[in-house]
Chain A
Amino acid sequence: MFRSLTGYFSNDLAIDLGTANTLIYMRSKGIVLDEPSVVAIHSDFPTNKKSILAVGLEAKRMLGRTPGSIQAIRPMKDGVIADFTVTEQMLKQFIKKVTPSRFFSASPRIVICVPCGSTQVERRAIKDSALAAGARRVELIEEPMAAAIGAGLPVEEPTGSMVVDIGGGTTEVGVISLGGVVYSNSVRVGGDKFDEAIINYIRRNYGMLIGETTAEEIKKTIGSAFPGAEVKEMEVKGRNLAEGIPRAFTVSSNEILEALTEPLNQIVSAVKIALEQTPPELGADIADKGMVLTGGGALLKDIDRLLAEETGLPVIVAEEPLTCVVRGSGKALEKMDKIGTIFTNVP
């Protein structure tokens, strides 16, 4: 009785706490927040007291441009919490941002995604963070499951569906059937690794140092995963390592493709391993339907082509891949009272 009563007044949330972006879905409202998972911390000099200066978009603009007293950090690394307290603060701020302050606001129930490769300790940390941020009850859902629901796959039917979620920090490969994850695999390669690979490539071949934001820009503009017909070019500014002076130079899409080969191969091999490990009946389903790509990495040009060529299976990119996971968690949240099996348990 009491639970249903507080249910009337609470705004239940589904959160995709990602390495790159955090998205929040509010029950019967839709996606209410989509901001980078970045926190700017100001530390007072003599007292060494730390306070949150900004979160989200505002903090992301500070990334790499901060003076000594300000630290812009991404508290999530490789899909898991690297800095517990900062993550907790970030969650708190985000939740506060989306929950209208009302007189009768009960604390919300929260569905939150975890990478399937995360350990029990990491899951516990995420759950505790959400609880400390003011949740009444926290349910965890594995990312491949959420991504599959969000992509509109028939997760509850007795047919295998394969989903590849390429996020900022991790790539999750999951085979789902009958509302459960049959096989899942997670490699710590994602958008961040792509950026890193671009930075390294440009340092090696051009002797230029560029920042993460620039690398991301390059990836989004001319990055591709499969050699295409047209070659695109882009002018980039960075610091010349030999001269120590900022200079502009031009990179082409073929060079970026070369730079991305290494992390892309890791994703391809993760997918191949998943296919090898899938039970034959489900494998047959997958051969028929192919796999679905979700997550920000799916936006990398021709990544579906690469996977299709490598596996010989049809590959489709989900619609709005960036919001797939949070939409899936949202759908799980809406049906939370009716279906309980899709959530994972933490001791």
Chain B
Amino acid sequence: MESQTEQNSTLPPDRDSVGAALKAAREAAGLSLGEVADRLKLSLKQLEAIEADRFEALPGAAFVRGFVRNYARFLGLDAVPLMARLEERFPSSVKEVANLSKEVEAASVVSEPEETSGLLGKRAILLVLVVVLAAGAFWFARPGSEPAKDEAKQDLAPMLTEQSTASAPVEAEPVKGASAAVTAPEPAPVPAPAAKPAPAVAAAPASAPVSAPPTAGGGTVKLIAKQDAWVSVIDGSGKKLVFETLKAGAAKEVVGQSPFKLTVGNATQVEVSFNGQPVVMTGKIRGTTARLELK
């Protein structure tokens, strides 16, 4: 690269010097054209053409470079600078492939319309595939959310929350968002929360215990977590009293209408009492999660 820029700045003298340099070296060595021709098996015409820089008279780039290199080697000249000077008009076949591959890349990015559409097509296909996959994953993750769009959401709300709490520990993230959105006090339009469930997650657990009204015919549920445990408590009216992860050592007491539906993750590490009576969960633990109803 450097030699090329250098060569560009001093173009006229350098260009002359491929043939001239060879001629000078030949004369310095005291050789006649005939002797060189005899040794290199080139014709006198070809040699004269080389020394006069009339490379068009030679058969092609590969041969121009080869002949000049042979000549230089015979005279004991360093062929590398000569090759560099020839590079501009007679590019090396070695670089040709490199250039070819670059050309293909360049063409696909900038100029050639066919190639451009090819690359665009590739990106478009990738994009479509990603979108399809994402949509598929989203749809499978929330099996209950589809009907909500079609039917009256108030009627379905308890059912939805029930379903989602049942499956909550397994797939907590998306379901949490969805169900929280549905049971939120303000009846928000369904498609909007469904599209972006993440923000709703933060708000829901905080507001849920506050909105629980202490009613008569109800009871008190007390939870003490020895280790981190995910817990949900839903009272008889379908309200979520607790829907969060209790940190180790945290205790929570909620009041609501019976019957309570409890889902307790990491159940062996949580003590539950109902109206002051400790609840035994041992028979109801599946894996680590206990589901039970308190009346």
Interface, chain A (partner B; CB < 8 A):
4-5, 8-9, 25, 27-30, 104, 150-154, 159, 285, 288-290, 292, 304, 308, 311-320, 323, 327, 330-331, 334
State A290–B43 Cα separation when bound (angstroms). Answer: 11
Residues 57-74 of B contacting A (Cβ, < 8 Å): 59-63, 65-67, 69-70
Contact A292 B101 (CB under 8 A): no
Least CB distance from A66 to B in Å reads: 36
Determine if B247 is an interface residue (Cβ-Cβ < 8 Å): no
Contact B66 A292 (CB under 8 A): yes
CB neighbours of A27 from chain B (8 A): 101, 104
Name the residue of chain A whose CB is nearest to the CB of B62.
A152
Determine if B98 is an interface residue (Cβ-Cβ < 8 Å): yes
Contact A314 B42 (CB under 8 A): yes
What total of chain B residues lie within 8 Å of the partner, measured CB to CB?
29
Max chain A Cβ within 10 angstroms of own Cβ: one of B62, B63, B97: B97
Max chain B Cβ within 10 angstroms of own Cβ: one of A308, A313, A314: A314
Contact B93 A150 (CB under 8 A): yes
Contact B67 A319 (CB under 8 A): no
Name the residue of chain B whose CB is nearest to the CB of A153.
B62
**Which of A30, A285, A315 meets B97, CB within 8 Å?**
A30
CB neighbours of B96 from chain A (8 A): 152, 331
State A331–B97 Cα separation when bound (angstroms). Answer: 6
Least CB distance from B104 to A in Å reads: 5
State A221–B126 Cα separation when bound (angstroms). Answer: 53
Least CB distance from B173 to A in Å reads: 24
State A319–B96 Cα separation when bound (angstroms). Answer: 12
Contact A8 B125 (CB under 8 A): yes
**Which of B43, B66, B104 meets A334, CB within 8 Å?**
B104
Contact B121 A327 (CB under 8 A): no
Determine if B196 is an interface residue (Cβ-Cβ < 8 Å): no
**Chain A at the B interface: SS class:** mixed
Contact A330 B97 (CB under 8 A): yes
**Which of B41, B61, B69, B105 meets A28, CB within 8 Å?**
B105
State A29–B43 Cα separation when bound (angstroms). Answer: 40
Least CB distance from B56 to A in Å reads: 14
**Which of B42, B93, B101, B104 meets A152, CB within 8 Å?**
B93
CB neighbours of B54 from chain A (8 A): none
Determine if B149 is an interface residue (Cβ-Cβ < 8 Å): no
State A4–B119 Cα separation when bound (angstroms). Answer: 12
Name the residue of chain A whose CB is nearest to the CB of B58.
A289
State A28–B121 Cα separation when bound (angstroms). Answer: 18
Name the residue of chain B whose CB is nearest to the CB of A323.
B94
Contact A292 B70 (CB under 8 A): no
Determine if B227 is an interface residue (Cβ-Cβ < 8 Å): no
Determine if B220 is an interface residue (Cβ-Cβ < 8 Å): no
Contact B104 A28 (CB under 8 A): yes
Q: List 10 extra interface pairs beyond A152-B92, A289-B60, A308-B41, CB under 8 A.
A: A8-B118, A30-B98, A288-B43, A290-B41, A290-B63, A314-B41, A315-B70, A323-B94, A331-B97, A334-B100
State A276–B220 Cα separation when bound (angstroms). Answer: 108
Determine if B122 is an interface residue (Cβ-Cβ < 8 Å): yes
Least CB distance from B136 to A in Å reads: 15
Determine if B141 is an interface residue (Cβ-Cβ < 8 Å): no
22 inter-chain pairs at a CB distance below 8 angstroms, sorted by A residue, are A25-B97, A28-B101, A30-B98, A104-B126, A150-B93, A152-B62, A154-B59, A288-B59, A289-B59, A290-B63, A314-B42, A315-B41, A316-B62, A316-B63, A316-B65, A316-B69, A317-B69, A318-B66, A323-B94, A327-B93, A330-B101, A331-B100
CB neighbours of B24 from chain A (8 A): none
State A327–B94 Cα separation when bound (angstroms). Answer: 8
Contact B104 A312 (CB under 8 A): no
Least CB distance from B236 to A in Å reads: 49
**Which of B40, B66, B93, B121 meets A317, CB within 8 Å?**
B66
Contact A5 B125 (CB under 8 A): yes
**Which of B42, B93, B101, B118 meets A318, CB within 8 Å?**
B93
Contact A327 B125 (CB under 8 A): no
Contact A316 B104 (CB under 8 A): no
State A314–B121 Cα separation when bound (angstroms). Answer: 50
State A334–B61 Cα separation when bound (angstroms). Answer: 21
State A304–B94 Cα separation when bound (angstroms). Answer: 20
State A150–B43 Cα separation when bound (angstroms). Answer: 26
State A266–B40 Cα separation when bound (angstroms). Answer: 22
Name the residue of chain B whose CB is nearest to the CB of A152.
B93
State A27–B105 Cα separation when bound (angstroms). Answer: 10
Contact B62 A334 (CB under 8 A): no
Name the residue of chain A whose CB is nearest to the CB of B95.
A319
